[in-house]
Structure 1
Amino acid sequence: MSQTKNSTLKQLPHKEIRHRLFGSVEPIEKTKPTEKENMHDIQNEKKDFLFELDSVGITNVKHPITIKSDMKPTTQTTIGTFSFSSSLPQTSKGTNMSRFTEQLNNYYSEGFVVSFTSLKAFTKELSERLEQQDATIEISFPWFFERNAPHTELSGLNHADITMAVTYDKLSGYTMCASLGGKVATLCPCSKEISEYSAHNQRGNITMEIEFTSDFTEGAIDWKSHLLEAAESNASSRLYPVLKRPDEKVVTETAYENPRFVEDIVRLVAADLYEMDFVSKFKVSCRNEESIHLHDAIASVSFDKSAKSSE
């Protein structure tokens, strides 16, 4: 620590006096009611408020959650970022914001394991508490999974970014959506073709957004691991948290044997999603962080299997 200019001890004024020095004032006489039943509830007023709202709620709520997986670690805690919302009729001025976090805390105190089963129960109960037609919950979180090196089999943890969303509507039922964002390695086919030796590679960021079929139920499959496999198995190479030299040799040669354009990635991943029975519609995006350019390369493809089957 740097030496202070004056080592003489000061006699400081009392803390209350210090607060007044920096602007604190005495409370004024309070005349409004302090009991909830006597308070005027502005947000609950019923009039013609011009427009129905598509959604109203709260977002960027961070809270610890527990998730399950078929991949190690099979049970893990992580931090979820929540959004809660519902529609609002034209006759209602506002929604009761406190009920969103109140219900989240109730579920957490009872051991909130995030799954589509628990989220369906959450949204139905939330719509009833809000006295609204519908309710939506969306959670984003990092999902960790064990990955062994390809030769030495040394293990470590990788992660993917997960989003889960459920909407409950009293008339139409449930809509379940999810996304997974994962990272892979890609090697440029053009560079490999034209070069005497070597080829440049890049990191690919793959995002899959899916809507589940109406009859999808959890338990038989871990949809997270299926989406992860769709992303990684179609890349030039997977990424690994721990690599020794024999592992690096495998990764480098595997990437060289499986060159991929960004266009190739989204088409191959789309083919895997098309074959998954629990997926109703999907969008696949990929962004390659180019190693020999200052720009990134992007591609995406969308497909609605339910629309195709109805033709």
Structure 2
Amino acid sequence: MNWSCDIQNFEPDVKISLTRVGVKNLKKLIRIKRKNKRPIILLSTFNVFVNLPSSQKGIHMSRNPEVIEEIIDSALEKDSYEIEEIGAEIVKKLFEKHNYATEAEVIMISDFMVKEKSPVSKKLSQEVHKIIGGAKGRKEGEKIKITKIVGAEVIGITACPCAQNLIREISAKNLMKLGYSKEEIERILDAVILATHNQRGIGKIILEIPEGYNVEIMDIIDIIKKSMSSEIYGILKRDDEAYIVEKSHKNPKFVEDCVREMAKHIVEKFSYLPDDTKVVITQINLESIHRHDAFAEKKATLGELRKELCEII
């Protein structure tokens, strides 16, 4: 046997195609340019894949583990203003290196630091959100169709509507026993902040958009933040704490409400994106009085979301 030959090009013993083969959890520093501002430096975790035909044993990963890193390093040398553009560039280079592949995908997940002011005292703190970027590519004859991936994951707070309604009913009965009229009870309950249990909520939006369209990552972050009962902050003074508690209790939301709010805001904000834009929205509430967590999800195209919302209107 010729031991110097490329064993990855041999036929496999079991001749079936593989959907995705590649590397996960590869960490790289990436540089995002900004007009008239300092660039943003992100420590990103990369997951990079190509598909593999049934006739090919491997993707040249074991013999040349540096191939994937070389592709990423080469793409990162170019100036870029968007993480999803870096993903598109990596996908194109993957096809150059792996000419047997008809599909390629790269996902980057980064911690994104932004300075935000607390709501009352206006204290500045660094807030961390996760941003998601990347691209998918598909060979169609001689052409490569690129779909960009952009998204974010944000932590906020939610207040439970169900428990709050139970507290309202109990409070109304107690006030009635004390001799208050129904009209007085309604005025009292509308004036006070009613107790409920809270949970830290994790909202996520991922959009898959065609080349030629762009989405501002801060727009996605803002949509997620305002779809929960309240934002949370790194530094809070007493007045800030009171403001957030009051705001969240006046704006109680189920996990399902958060996903529906995000869907509505996506349709409103991204009216310029085409109907075939894929949308994945998820919300996880880390329950405080239950042993389980609550989860809700919506997967649809932007066109399907527009149609559903129009039917409601």
TM class by shorter chain equals 0.7 to 0.9
Distance in 1 of aligned mates of 2:90 and 2:196: 50
- Residue 184 of structure 2 corresponds to which residue in structure 1? none
- Residue 83 of structure 2 corresponds to which residue in structure 1? 115
- Residue 150 of structure 2 corresponds to which residue in structure 1? 178
Q: Note if contact 1:65-1:112 (Cα within 8 Å) is conserved in structure 2.
A: no
The reply to whether residue 291 of structure 1 matches residue 313 of structure 2 is no
The reply to whether residue 154 of structure 1 matches residue 123 of structure 2 is yes
Structure 1 residue 287: deviation in Å? 1.5
Local SS of the residue matching 1:51: coil
Pick from 31, 35, 40 the counterpart of residue 66 of structure 1: 31
Distance in 2 of aligned mates of 1:153 and 1:135: 45
Q: Note if contact 2:34-2:81 (Cα within 8 Å) is conserved in structure 1.
A: no
- Residue 136 of structure 1 corresponds to which residue in structure 2? 105
Local SS of the residue matching 1:190: helix
Distance in 1 of aligned mates of 2:225 and 2:307: 31
Q: Percent identity?
A: 26
Distance in 1 of aligned mates of 2:231 and 2:25: 31
Structure 1 residue 48: deviation in Å? 8.7
Greater helix content = 2
Q: Note if contact 2:267-2:305 (Cα within 8 Å) is conserved in structure 1.
A: no
Unpaired runs of 5+ in structure 2?
172-193, 309-313
- Residue 232 of structure 1 corresponds to which residue in structure 2? 225
- Residue 199 of structure 1 corresponds to which residue in structure 2? 196
Local SS of the residue matching 1:170: strand
Distance in 2 of aligned mates of 1:307 and 1:233: 23
Compared CA separation, residues 121 and 106, structure 1 to 2 (3 A): closer
Unpaired runs of 5+ in structure 1?
1-31
- Residue 255 of structure 2 corresponds to which residue in structure 1? 262
The structure having more radius of gyration, on CA atoms, is 1
Local SS of the residue matching 1:117: helix
**Aligned residue-pair number:** 270
- Residue 15 of structure 1 corresponds to which residue in structure 2? none
Pick from 94, 97, 108 the counterpart of residue 126 of structure 1: 94
What is the TM-score with the length of structure 1 in the denominator?
0.76
Question: What is the CA deviation profile of residues 58-93 of structure 1, one whole-angstrom value per residue up to 9, with x for unaligned ones?
Answer: 2221111223579xx973222211122212223322
Structure 1 residue 117: deviation in Å? 2.3
Pick from 285, 290, 302 the counterpart of residue 305 of structure 1: 302
Distance in 2 of aligned mates of 1:68 and 1:193: 49
The reply to whether residue 82 of structure 1 matches residue 46 of structure 2 is yes
Structure 1 residue 135: deviation in Å? 2.5
Local SS of the residue matching 2:279: strand
Compared CA separation, residues 179 and 60, structure 1 to 2 (3 A): same
Distance in 2 of aligned mates of 1:264 and 1:110: 41
Structure 1 residue 309: deviation in Å? 7.8
Local SS of the residue matching 2:92: helix
Compared CA separation, residues 154 and 69, structure 1 to 2 (3 A): farther
Deviates more, 1:132-141 or 1:179-188: 132-141
Q: Note if contact 2:30-2:44 (Cα within 8 Å) is conserved in structure 1.
A: yes
Structure 1 residue 255: deviation in Å? 1.1
Local SS of the residue matching 2:148: strand
Distance in 2 of aligned mates of 1:74 and 1:265: 34
Letter in structure 2 aligned against 1:119: G
Pick from 238, 249, 259 the counterpart of residue 245 of structure 1: 238
RMSD of equivalent CA atoms: 3.0
- Residue 180 of structure 2 corresponds to which residue in structure 1? none
Letter in structure 2 aligned against 1:115: I
